[in-house]
C-alpha cells in the first residue's frame, strides 16, 4: 500500500514529462498585441491568434486528462497484480511455516 501512495503522490511531478510524448509539447503562448498602439487589423489578428491558442490549449489539456486517467488506471492494475502476488507469496510462506 505504501508503494501506491508514493507513486500517486509522485505522479503530478512525473506526469508532464511522460505525457509530453503522447500529447505533444505545451502550446507556446501567443505574442500579445499592444492595445495602445495597434490598429483595428492588428487587434483582429490578435483575437484570431487568441482563439487559435485557446483551442490548442484546450486540446492539450484534454489529452493530458485522458493520459492521466489511463496512467492511473494502469497503475491501479499493476498494483492489484502485485497485491495478488504478495497474497500468494504470503499464503505459500504460511503453509511452508506450518509444515
pTM higher than 0.85 for the full model?
A: no
Q: Which three cell numbers stand for residue 48?
A: 484570431
So where are the chain's domains? 47-99
For 2-49, what is each residue's pLDDT tens digit?
655 555 566 565 555 555 578 999 999 999 999 999 999 999 999 999
| pLDDT confidence of residue 41 | 98
For 36-60, what is each residue's pLDDT tens digit?
999 999 999 999 999 999 999 999 9
| pLDDT confidence of residue 21 | 74
Measured distance CA(35)–CA(44) in Å, rounded:
11
| pLDDT confidence of residue 92 | 92
Amino acid at each position: 500500500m505504501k508503494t501506491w501512495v508514493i507513486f500517486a503522490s509522485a505522479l503530478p511531478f512525473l506526469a508532464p514529462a511522460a505525457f509530453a510524448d503522447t500529447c505533444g509539447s505545451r502550446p507556446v503562448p501567443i505574442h500579445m498585441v499592444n492595445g495602445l498602439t495597434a490598429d483595428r487589423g492588428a487587434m483582429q489578428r490578435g483575437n484570431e491568434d487568441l482563439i487559435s491558442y485557446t483551442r490548442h490549449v484546450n486540446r492539450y489539456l484534454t489529452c493530458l486528462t485522458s493520459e492521466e486517467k489511463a496512467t492511473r488506471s494502469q497503475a491501479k492494475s499493476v498494483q492489484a497484480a502485485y497485491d495478488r502476488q504478495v497474497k500468494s507469496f504470503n499464503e505459500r510462506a504460511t503453509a511452508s511455516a506450518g509444515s
